[in-house]
Structure 1
Amino acid sequence: MSTRSHAPLIRLARFKVEELQKQMADIDRARAAIADQIERLEASVPGEQAAASESKEGYLAYGSYARSVIQRKENLRASEREVEVQAGELRERLETAFGELKKYELLEERRVARIEDAVRAAEQAEMDEIAGRMRRAAH
């Protein structure tokens, strides 16, 4: 039965969880930024199509533009997949860190409960001793 506090382990585990949560927030921001870039790229296509249809030069240049848009979207989708893989790995690490934190918190709760039980038992033993003395003195 350990009487040492688990507070240092809890602080360390909580710090680890918080750091991983910050990293997850960074990944979420990266994911949103990529989605925003894809959306803006797709939104630009109709305007470019309309501009291309107005002149022969625009029509000829549109092919180049369309290929660059397709390539850029492919690159963004690849980045998106990469970020998703990182998010999955980070999520697993976060779940593990959170599990460790909960384990240490539970151990600390049990340690405190054992101490409280021991104190109550000692107090009860003292009260029983006092009651026994009073009974003996009364007889």
Structure 2
Amino acid sequence: MKSRDTLLKLKRFQVDEKRRQAAQIESMIAEFERMAGDLDREIAQEQERAGIHDVAHYAYPTYAKAAKVRRDNLMRSADELRGQLADAQGALAEAFEELKKIEILEERDTAREKLAEAARDQAEMDRIGLTPVELRAS
């Protein structure tokens, strides 16, 4: 049982670690999307300020061009992270399944031990009940 307790602790740790990794990736995706949204607003403001919305125009604001490139890079990174998130969620599901298997085995063993203990107790009670009263008093 000692090794199963250790295995349970290990599996719980692995599930927690996988959950933390998935949450961290989700947080990074949200941050990249927020930053891209900020850049979209800055691009729109720069275009309004300059009065030029055509990227191909010779006088299109340099800052808006650079911000678009940065925004596109952020969105590409967020897309790559979505792939990593899918992998991390798959690994989390797998680790969770492994943990559940070990927990089910532990519950089964605990139930088996309780049944064996109840059977021993019942056998002891039966033995006491079958023993003549004179012998029990001594």
Same fold (TM > 0.5): yes
Unmatched tracts of structure 2, length 5 or more: none
Per the alignment, residue 44 of structure 2 pairs with 46
Q: Deviation per CA, 1:54-95: give whole Å up to 9, x if none.
A: 9xxxx8542544443333232222111110000000000000
Matched, 1:14 2:15: no
Tell me the amino acid that sits aligned with residue 123 of structure 1: D
Per the alignment, residue 127 of structure 2 pairs with 129
Per the alignment, residue 102 of structure 1 pairs with 100
TM-score, normalization by structure 1: 0.82
Unmatched tracts of structure 1, length 5 or more: none
Q: Tell me, what secondary structure is at the counterpart of 1:62?
A: coil
% identical aligned pairs: 35
Aligned length, in residue pairs: 130
Per the alignment, residue 73 of structure 1 pairs with 71
RMSD: 2.2
TM-score, normalization by structure 2: 0.83
Give how far 1:123 is off. Answer: 0.6
Counterpart-to-counterpart distance in 2, 1:53 and 1:116: 80
Counterpart-to-counterpart distance in 2, 1:126 and 1:47: 86
Which range moved further: 71-80 or 14-23?
71-80
Per the alignment, residue 89 of structure 2 pairs with 91
Counterpart-to-counterpart distance in 1, 2:117 and 2:110: 11
Which range moved further: 40-49 or 10-19?
40-49
